[in-house]
Amino acid sequence: MEAVGQLTGGIAHDFNNLLTGIIGGINVVRGRIAKGKMDDVTRFMDEVVNSAHRAAALTHRLLAFSRRQALNFKAIDVNSMVQSVLELFRRTVGENIELVVNPGKDLWPARTDANQLETALLNLVINARDAMPNGGRIVISIENVTITKDAAKADLPAGEYVALRVADTGTGMPKEIVDRVFDPFFTTKPVGQGTGLGLSMVYGFAKQSGGAVEIETAVGKGTVVSILVPRAPGEAGAVGEARADSELKSASGERVMVVEDSPSVRMLMADLLKELGYDVIVCSEGQEAADFFSGDRQKVDLLISDVGLPGLNGRQVAEIGLQKWPAMKVLLITGYAEAAVHRAEFLPPGAQLMSKPFELEALAAKVAEMLSAR
């Protein structure tokens, strides 16, 4: 009960702060618009958007801790992934901290989500930086690790793994702190300087990936945090995913079906797509979409469906539509769906997945990309 109270209290505290920024900013903007004072509206709207993004990041960390985020498992080269974010990390730690990378030799490909692994590594680097207020050294090491049956643990079965270790020369931690570092909202930082979700997110992501997190530390001797993720069969693919084009591209009359049970989300997506020139069909539940598919209708070029619909879920809707129009493109969207946490295992062949919340520009870019690939 203490852990539940800490979790819910932390969520309430952080979201109340974020919602204050969102609601307050919108109220100010409405007042300025009513008075015709438009000169600094953009400044307040920027703060609203920033608060909303921080709320989204908080939600993603909670999903990672609960192991309910949608992961896109691929075979990746961890050496290349670390090199791709190294410059960002150097800017993050500052000039008084030396950042060293020891790449793995003959490194196996890792089966994991590249974007989430980047985020987890960034969390570890930030924690290491904060443990060295007077400067120091961070070493990121990558290596192959084989866990034998004799060395296997309850949370890390025997097998082959890729280990990503972050070592610092900071203050270290006593045992009573180490025992709680993965608890959500537990933090040793002053109020307002950390949510306490960084390590809990890393822990949840590693466990959801089929791996583990290990900590070695001692007061005054620094800390080493290791993320272990399973070895992937085959060769590693490209690191990360292509960035969405932020330019809103006009349509060529393609027909898009939107299936979403949230009225506000449904309205925003439909209005955006109509504005871009798509022929949009709107459904509020899966059965309504299935009824449309069963009729003598003009074909749908792209189905955009929420996963967690009442009645028929998004995948079931997609399967019904694909039976009629096999060439139809499918984009599933989800805020949380337990059955969709492993994308490759849940998605119909050729389908893609977007996680809520997302920028409408990103949705428009994804729609244009999928339809141009027909």
Confidence of residue 303 (pLDDT cuts 50, 70, 90): very high
The pLDDT tens digits of the residues spanning 184-216 come to 555 655 444 444 456 777 888 888 888 889 999
Is 289 in contact with 359 (CB distance < 8 Å)? no
Instruction: Select from 337, 288, 367 the least CA-distant residue to 70.
Output: 337
The pLDDT tens digits of the residues spanning 46-102 come to 888 877 777 776 666 565 455 455 567 789 999 999 998 888 888 888 889 999 999
Percent of the chain residues topping a pLDDT of 70: 78
Q: Is the peptide bond before 233 cis (omega within 30 degrees of 0)?
A: no
CA–CA dist 43, 39 (Å, integer): 9
Is 198 in contact with 65 (CB distance < 8 Å)? no
The pLDDT tens digits of the residues spanning 132-185 come to 988 999 999 999 999 888 877 767 888 999 999 999 999 888 887 877 777 655
Judge residue 127's burial from the number of C-beta atoms within 10 Å of its C-beta, 0-12 exposed, 13-18 middle, 19 or more buried.
buried
The pLDDT tens digits of the residues spanning 268-279 come to 888 889 888 899
Residue range 296-315: mean pLDDT, rounded = 87
Question: Residues of 146-171 as b/e, b for ≥16 C-beta within 10 angstroms?
Answer: ebeeeeeeeebeebebbbbbbbbbbb
Q: Is 354 helix (H, G, I), strand (E, B) or coil?
A: strand
Give 129's strand partners.
none
The pLDDT tens digits of the residues spanning 218-241 come to 888 899 999 999 998 866 554 444
The predicted structure's pLDDT at residue 234: 67
Within a 13 Å sphere around the CA of 144, how many CA atoms are in the beta-carbon half? 11
Is 351 in contact with 317 (CB distance < 8 Å)? no
Q: Is 276 helix (H, G, I), strand (E, B) or coil?
A: coil
Instruction: Select from 212, 112, 231, 111 the least CA-distant residue to 153.
Output: 212
* Ramachandran assignment for 107, one of left (phi > 0), alpha (psi -120 to 50 degrees), beta (any other): beta
Instruction: Give the DSSP H/E element, type plus range, for residue 257.
Output: strand 255-259
C-alpha separations of 351 from 244, 323, 337, 354 in Å = 17, 14, 16, 10
* pTM of structure: 0.52
Identify the DSSP state of 252. -
Cα 168 to the chain's mean position, in Å?
Answer: 26
Q: In the structure encoding, which two tokens stand for residue 261, read together?
A: 């049970």
Residue 27, pLDDT > 60, answer yes
Give 265's strand partners.
none
Residue range 360-373: mean pLDDT, rounded = 85
* Ramachandran assignment for 81, one of left (phi > 0), alpha (psi -120 to 50 degrees), beta (any other): alpha
